[in-house]
Every structure is written in structure tokens, then in C-alpha cells.
Structure 1
Amino acid sequence: MSITVALAGDTMLGRCVAERLEQDPRPATVLSAALRGLVAGADAFVLNLECCVSDRGEPWPAPGKPFFFRAPPAAATVLADLGADCVTLANNHALDYGFDALADTRALLTRAGVRSVGAGPDPAAARRFALLEAGATRLAVVGVTDHPEDFAAGPDRPGVAYADLARGVPGWLADLVGRAAAEADAVLVTPHWGPNMTSAPPPHVRHTAAALLEAGATLVAGHSAHVFHGVADRCLFDMGDFVDDYAVDPVLRNDLGLLFLVTLDGTGPARPRPVRVEAVPLHLDFCRTTQASGDEWEWIRDRFTRACAEFGTTVTVRGERLVVDWA
């Protein structure tokens, strides 16, 4: 039996997006009808939530921190209405407005029926994986981030599941992935890793991906760069941005992204394995995302094809989608 998992990268619902959601808290405010239909048709939908969801808190007191993202409480319901089954909070914006705002985020998401991973009141909670029912498949989701260290959960303080991945995969993370593999049919690890605004994954990200797959991950889907990267076997190195109000780099074009639809197939006693990636080109307009078309679609096709070729991965065009077959 096969399932489809929809995967999206950095989803920022703060600042100007928050202002729009306060005026009109509906999924249509941030995502076009065509894209809402695509994620609704998937068996599971997982994304990186790059903001807190709260109306409390003060900006995190980190010298030089330039950006603070906070969405209104209604954003949790918007995510649920979009069909998000699980979000990862393991990133550099989960504590933008402090511990109370993080607690609100987790509580509001839970109340809306959206699972979360990657953050919690202590390290054990922050590192806990979520177990989703995707069709007849039990899908475990693991969230982790390699920055910032001052957001890390500690014995007496809330925070994120932090790991210094530049130094390798720590034992706790490898063990966590192994435990998830023992309890679930498939394991999705979704790391927030590497620097911003890069066009390809740095060496430590590539090494980490291989180690996570060796530990038992079925699929690795990363984010952080704000720019989509190429795809290697069972790894989406960076999914780019999904919704935001960010300034646009004229060269890297962080306003052009991809929504990934990954097919996992399992027959008989075999564990589900990723066999196909269908990437849907996106245009991130200011605070709202639609499908890309025309010259923008062609730019995404060309860049994704080149980025995948660096890993020996072939991309084919099927209709409006960019397809990688892993079977």
C-alpha cells in the first residue's frame, strides 16, 4: 500500500502575515485554492513552523538577533484547516517571544488538533517524536535544529531539540531515530540545519543526512536556507520557503519554492520506502503562496534540475510537476 506525504519548508506566519490573519483568519489568506487542494489530498502534511503562535511574550534578549516572528492565536486553527498534521518547532524562531509564547504555541496547536515536535518544557519533551496515522501507515516525525544553541531545552528550562550537527549526530539523536523506527512503519526526520541563503547543502549537512538514514530514518526533509536545494536518495536537503513576507534575493529567488509530495510504498511485510518525489513549483507572493507559472515555473525547473544533477539525481517533467523516481 502506498501513501503520499506532503512536505513544506519554512512557514512564517508572523509580521505582515500575522496582520493579514488577524483581519481574515482563513486558509485562503495564505494559500491558494489549488495548493490547499494538493495538501488536502495527501495522507499526511508536515511543515516547519518558523514562528511562535501567541499573543504573549517579549522579544528574546539575544544581542544582534534581527528578526522576531509571532503569529496570532488564530494561526493554529488556520494550520489545522490547511490540513497540517504535524509541525516542527525545532528552529531559530520557536523562542522569539520567550518561554510563555512557546508554551502557548504548543497548547494552541494541540487544541487545534495539530501535532508538534522539536520543542518542549524540557529536553525529553523537546526530543519526543510524534506518531501519525497516515492511511494504514504509522509515520514517526522527528524534529531537530542545529541553531541557535541558546534556544536549547535544558533540565530546568523550555526550548528546542538542539544538536551541534557540525560535530556529528549525537548519540541521543541516533537513538531517538532508532526508537522511532522500532515503533513506526516509517520515520521522517525534519532537521533545521545549515546557514541561510545558500544554494547547496554544506558538507556537515550531507554527512548528517547519511548518518540519520543509517540510524533508521526512512526520509530526511530539511529546511533553513530559505532556498530549495537538490534531492539525493531519500533526502530533501532543503525545501525552501512556503509562506512568508521576506525580502527577495534577486539571484537566489527565495520567493520561488517547492511543495514536495513524497510517495512511500510498502507491499506485504516490507516497510514503506520513498519511491517518488513530486515537486510542485511555488510563487511566494507577499504573505500568500500560489503555484508558479510561466517564466517563474521554468526558472524553478531549471534550477531544481541542476541542483539535483549535482547528486546524480534525474528530474523529469510530468505536467506541472517536477518528478524524481527513487524506485
Structure 2
Amino acid sequence: MQKQVRLMAAGDIWLQTGRNRHPFREVRHLLQDKDLLFGNLETALSETGERAQKHHVIASPPEAARYLVDAGFDLLSVANNHSVDLGAEGLNNTLRTLESRGILPIGASASPNRQKPIILEKNGIAIGFAGYTTGRTALSGGASVNRLIEEDIVADIASLAGKCDHIAVSLHWGTEMAYYPSPRQIDLAHRLIDAGATLILGHHSHTMQAIECYHSGLIAYSLGMFQFDPNWPHNLSQEAFILSVDLQEGGVVGKHEVIPLTVDDDFVPRPAEEIRSEEIRAFIAEISKPVAGGGITWARWFEEIAPAYMTMNLESYRYRIRERGLLPLLEMGVWLCTPFCLKCYGGLIRRSLRPLPVQERRAPRKDAGN
């Protein structure tokens, strides 16, 4: 019988819930079929540390890690824009908490040097894992987060060559609230597969994005929000999914499956009911077509992302202006004149002249009983 590992991958995890509910109680049975379970831990596990000067700071008590153990997580990416919300001390507390619970953190190090890839062996199959993030992650105090630098990632992939059957790369990237990866993301994902990766696990946008089979690899551009407030920071759809992938010896990616979920108002994911489940699968298939078919041009991408991008950043500037006064106001004025914003204005104009994009043709809706 051919050797095989079933990897399940989930998106953003907050660990906070309404009414103190168990964050994974409704989906634990779905996760029992895994050999390895991956997720993106979008919170610091710490009650101490220097609070970041930003609008949304996310931190959870270290005791909340018991929920991760109970759900069966084997490894978690901590290379994201919230892992350093309580500074180096908070990051180091997060790393220690996960390791003490038997969960492997990837993408960050309790030293000034970036974390090298790790190798896990399961069912006789070796899988290399590495994690990276965009954004500012500079820290003092003996801790570091892996930056998303293509040369570093390719070097890490090369360092795993001949040592693994599979190489999985976790990328915290892209534009928040966007339903499509940018042409730059698509090109980078393809180059990483060409360099030897077999699986790309993306997150950060807080939305479900395309899944693409490319050459010998599989790319999930964004796994979306797994256990998160579906109304934060904007009124997003309460739909999510778990990706299940069968990895075989010799670097063969077997079948993959989308397991649809809905997230209730207590931030707890649960299996989607039958009709909703088919809608979610159909939605992912529909937004995946232009990605796989080369239809995501820069012009189309700016049309898709402009409303959410402008709204998110204006909200952030309003917060900073209230907190710090004139300087952020001047910064906002400069930002509004950047080439990126100018392209967003063009996207907004073009968008107003064409039919609604796919994600807006399916209005977010509530589950009964939420």
C-alpha cells in the first residue's frame, strides 16, 4: 500500500470567543481524520510585553493553548502581523507556550536569526515546513520573525532538497479583504513550486481565495478565517473552509478536498449545512478559474481590491489621527497620493462601469440560530 499523509490546513485562529465557548468544539470531529493539522495562529499567547502602536492588537492568555491541543494542532505558523503585537517578550512567550504543549511553531525564532525550515516525518513520509510574512516585523530583545523574501525562501527550499518528500511553505501575504491574489502573488507562488515546493498555504486576507493545481504542486492562496470574528474589522461573509490534502511519497500531491464551514457570531466554526456547503465549494471553484486561467491582470486586481483596501486603510488612519493627532493626518495625505492609491482610484472607476464581481453577487448571510 502506498504511503500517504493527510495534511489538514486551517486559516486564521484568534482563540477568543463569545460567551467563553470552546473555539473548536463544533469542528473537532472533522479534524480526527488528519495525520497533521496546520493553522495560522493570529494572536500572541502572552499577558505581558510591549503593546504595539496599532489599531488592532490581538493577544490571548497562554492557557488558551489548551484549545489548540484539544483540536489536535501539530504545527502553527506564527509568521504574521499579530505575532509581535506584544513585542519580543510576547513572541517568546508564544513560542515557549506552543512548544511546551507539543505544538511546533514555524516562521519565528527566539533569537535574532530567522528560523530555518523544520522537517516532520509521518507515516514514513518526510515533510519540510517553513513560514514567512510580509510587513514590518523588526524586533529588539532576541526574537525574530521570518520575512517574506523570495531569495530566502528559495534558499530554504534548496536546503531541504533530497531530505523530504514534500516541502510546504506558509505565506502570510496579500491584501486584506481581497478575494483574489495579485499577479505578483501568483507569479511568486508559481516560482516557489518550480523551485521545489509542493504545497503553498496562504493566509492574511481574511477571505477565501483560489486553490490552484500548478505543475506538481498545490497552491491555496488564502485559507481564510477559521476561528475569528467574522464581522471584524468589516462585515465579511461567515463562510470558511478546511483544506485536506493527501501527500504521497515521492512528492506526489494526491486528492485534495475543501471542507466548508460557517463561523457563528461567537466566532466558533461549524460544518456548513448541505446547501451552504455546495455554495461554498462552488464559490471557491468560481474564483479559482481566473487565477488558474491567467485572467487576473493588474487592472482587474485593482478593480477587485480597491474598495476594501481604501476602507481598511482609512479606518486605520482615523484611529491613528484620534490617538496621535497631526502627524498621521499628514501621513494619510501622502498615502492618498501614492501610485498604489492612484491605481485604486482607477479601479474604482472601472468597477463602477461593469457588473458586480463574483463575491458581491453572493451576499453574506447568517446561519439560522447564530
User: Which category describes the TM-score, using the shorter chain as reference length?
Assistant: 0.7 to 0.9
CA distance in 2 between counterparts of 1:223 and 1:146 reads 11
Q: Evaluate the alpha carbon distance shift between residue 45 and residue 212 of structure 1 in structure 2; reply closer, same or farther with a 3 A threshold.
A: same
Residue in structure 2 matching 1:118, options 107, 117, 121 = 107
Query: Residue 123 of structure 1: CA displacement?
Result: 4.8
User: 2:247 aligned with 1:264, yes or no?
Assistant: yes
Query: Residue 2 of structure 1: CA displacement?
Result: 1.8
Matching of residues 17-166 of structure 1 within 5 Å: 20=20, 29-33=22-26, 35-61=27-53, 65-124=54-113, 126-147=114-135, 149=136, 151-152=137-138, 157-164=142-149
User: 2:224 aligned with 1:227, yes or no?
Assistant: no
**Do the aligned partners of 1:53 and 1:105 also contact (CA within 8 Å) in 2?**
yes
RMSD: 2.0
**C-alpha distance after superposition, 1:193-227 (max 9, x if no partner):** 11100011011111110121122111111011111
**C-alpha distance after superposition, 1:92-123 (max 9, x if no partner):** 00100111111110001000000011111335
Residue in structure 1 matching 2:273, options 278, 293, 296 = 293
1:183 aligned counterpart, secondary structure: coil
CA distance in 2 between counterparts of 1:264 and 1:177 reads 17
**Normalized per residue, which structure has more helix?**
2
CA distance in 2 between counterparts of 1:83 and 1:140 reads 19
CA distance in 2 between counterparts of 1:232 and 1:181 reads 23
**Normalized per residue, which structure has more strand?**
1
Identity %: 26
Q: What residue in structure 1 maps to residue 263 of structure 2?
A: 284
**Do the aligned partners of 1:121 and 1:153 also contact (CA within 8 Å) in 2?**
no
**Do the aligned partners of 1:2 and 1:272 also contact (CA within 8 Å) in 2?**
no
Q: What residue in structure 1 maps to residue 14 of structure 2?
A: 12
| 1:161 partner amino acid | N
Structure of larger gyration radius: 2
Q: Runs of 4 or more off by more than 6 Å in structure 1?
A: none
Q: With the length of structure 2 as denominator, give the TM-score of the two structures.
A: 0.72
1:274 aligned counterpart, secondary structure: strand
**C-alpha distance after superposition, 1:33-59 (max 9, x if no partner):** 4x2122222111111100111121232
CA distance in 2 between counterparts of 1:311 and 1:202 reads 9
Query: Residue 294 of structure 1: CA displacement?
Result: 4.8
**Do the aligned partners of 2:95 and 2:110 also contact (CA within 8 Å) in 1?**
no
Q: Give 5+ residue unaligned stretches, structure 2.
A: 294-370
**Do the aligned partners of 1:140 and 1:181 also contact (CA within 8 Å) in 2?**
no
Q: With the length of structure 1 as denominator, give the TM-score of the two structures.
A: 0.81
Residue in structure 1 matching 2:224, options 240, 252, 257 = 240
**Do the aligned partners of 1:95 and 1:159 also contact (CA within 8 Å) in 2?**
no
CA distance in 2 between counterparts of 1:259 and 1:181 reads 28
